[in-house]
A and B are shown apart, each in its own frame.
Chain A
């Protein structure tokens, strides 16, 4: 993990981080005889011809259980339906994500990027060995043979052997290190809209998420943790709770109490019947305002320099016009549809953990740490994830469930209520930003100064990634952005808020930086009295892909066409997660200040597309996720407690509010970029800019404050 080259890779490549990982069974060495053909850690072919892909990434909706098998199937010359998936076991050395410093993690929109070479290579090596095995059998030159549809064919004689028939022979051949990959023009699967392999089980109730597991004898527990972060359990009267039918046990920990029952209905009823006294601890009076004020004050001082081009101070001083603004974005919860849960069976000599996690190896290690068992005695059962968005990159839930399970005889499924899930999330950080820019006489920006303060998730999650006061995630989108500016300085101040834990949230660092950068760029266009699209296009000569995406988005959106009063269009463009993405949002602002996003046009250039329908789906998804945040998303603290608790006061976008989304995918031969997150970071400023176009009000703080947008009736 601290290997320098890997660290470098993290710092220079993916940047922010939110993909996730899974884990699987031992692949390992070449075997002979009846053993399966296992040319590498990803592919296994049995005598029966069954092809098994050991999946290093976990499915949480992003379509990775379809797109990654496509890479293998393409090179193996088999139909997608012939590839069976297994979760990779917790094994960081074998299944670590090269774009996330080797952590076995699914996050940061990295799965296809990280798999593009190695998974195709794994398939190509297998194919090459199967061809060699067949050629040897027939005593012909391998060059005269080819693979097609799960068989090796000797072209001249028409002889054929199925992969299963060749598996044992292939297993005895030396494994070549690198073999040639198929040329893109020969792709049969990559670039075609493959049907999702996980869909059938998700329309009939058969799909098993972590919350669905039922090992024999399992009890169900639900919990109350200290409502103030850092508080302790002082006293519990559980008399009434233990009298509830179906309640079996009340578990008390330092900062948590759990009710164990035959079913969740009894557990919840028991929890409600507890009389609990808490010692709130040092954060008993904390409010969000305290935290925002601390960040605001921090930005009065210089921070760690993340980017420094030209002489920004000088250029600012001599600029014809100067524009200044400050911005703020809130804490956000993940609110995954599947509430946090984890099922654990602790025994004296071992432990089983059932959970859907973005970090399999860390989840295993968490249970080992609590129980004191050696790693190999902890068996992790990976499951489908009912929404990750970064929440399941953390193992706090595994730790908590294992602590409870230690006190329970037999397996226990610990299920967070929605209230507990929202009030004990780990949150997208609150950030505060200060910006100033200088424009020349023509209105063109000649200086850009951006300083911001907030939590560094990387500093905790991946300490080697935090260096000299900087981490690659917090600054992604703020540094090296698409625009060419002669003088630019970006500074970051790491300020960890007290009494509230932070973590990754869909679109990670750029969920903050793109909102600020694209809103402020819009302010500069307004100050220069220029069209926001034309103003941006003039600054994008050095990033032609971004420029082309923006131009196409504007064209498809009918940019400049008249809209009714109270409506407006807003734009954003970004180059994060290895992809270029441009968005135009159309909003309508009602007299009462409420905002509807009516239509969104998105142009994605994510290089080579593996599964175009997945790309489309992820863009639609990420945009709706971002609109929830823009219109409603905010976690606030009062008296140290999270004030929001369920979908009534932590609102998310619903069917009747969802916009029409048009996605245009740019054809490209570049290496694949990420596509699970760009829509989220992009849509927030596009909406804010559209509101400005509709009302003349610049919203520098998210979420949208409808009070500011009210007009006389």
Chain B
């Protein structure tokens, strides 16, 4: 049967089995290839997206579990305040190398900052330990998250 999925503000109808992981709906059915396949078992985080603002691994998220939830992917995370700051910090800190895992890293970091504007090192470890980077960019990811947190706090201060 066809399922309605709401992705980046737009609703799509997809005709796949209900147990099809969201990852493949995004990548192969809808052609949104920014979300990456890494392990298929929620072990590496490359496929991380936001479902109603929470970081989830799309490789183990069946499409029939979404039930009207809003999905945000790397293609649109820049339009969220936390996502935009994370992307900017990623560029300022020159985080990326091969870049393949970075969609997932950015999605995890953006969800972290949206929920916890001033994460400690331990908070960062907790939120990011599920995202593997074989290029070993961890040190820069940590610095970039801290930078994004600072800019976030500053801009929130300005706004308030």
Contacts and interface: CB of A to CB of B under 8 A. Distances in A.
Interface residues of B, number: 61
Given A623-B136, A647-B43, A648-B43, A655 B142 contact: yes
Contacts of A617: 94, 97, 137, 140
B136 A621 contact: yes
A613 interface: yes
A620 B75 contact: no
B78 A204 contact: yes
B55 interface: no
Contact of B33 (A196, A208, A646): A208
Contact of A658 (B21, B87, B139): B139
Interface in A368-389: 384-389
B96 interface: yes
Contacts, number: 195
Interface in A249-307: 262-266, 268-269
B28 A386 contact: no
Contact of B37 (A201, A207, A211, A613): A211
A205 B75 contact: yes
Contacts of A613: 94
Given A199-B94, A654-B129, A387 B134 contact: yes
B33 A384 contact: no
Contact of B75 (A204, A415, A622): A204
- Interface secondary structure of B, over-half rule: loop
Contacts of B90: 199, 203
Given A337-B36, A337-B46, A386 B100 contact: yes
A60 interface: yes
A452 to B, nearest CB: 27
A62 B37 contact: no
For the residues of A in contact with B, the DSSP-based class is loop
A418 interface: yes
A661 interface: yes
A111 interface: no
B74 interface: yes
Nearest to B31: A214
A697 B53 CA distance: 48
A320 to B, nearest CB: 43
Contact of A268 (B34, B40, B97, B106): B40
Interface of A: 59-63, 195-196, 198-209, 211-212, 214, 220, 244-246, 262-266, 268-269, 335-339, 384-389, 415, 417-418, 613, 617-618, 620-625, 628, 646-648, 652-656, 658, 660-661
Interface of B: 16-17, 19-21, 23-25, 27-29, 31-41, 43-44, 46, 73-75, 78, 87, 90-91, 94-103, 106, 124-126, 128-142
24 contacts: A61-B96, A61-B135, A195-B94, A196-B96, A198-B96, A199-B94, A202-B96, A205-B73, A208-B33, A211-B33, A211-B36, A262-B28, A263-B29, A264-B27, A265-B21, A266-B17, A337-B46, A337-B101, A387-B134, A618-B97, A621-B97, A647-B43, A647-B132, A655-B141
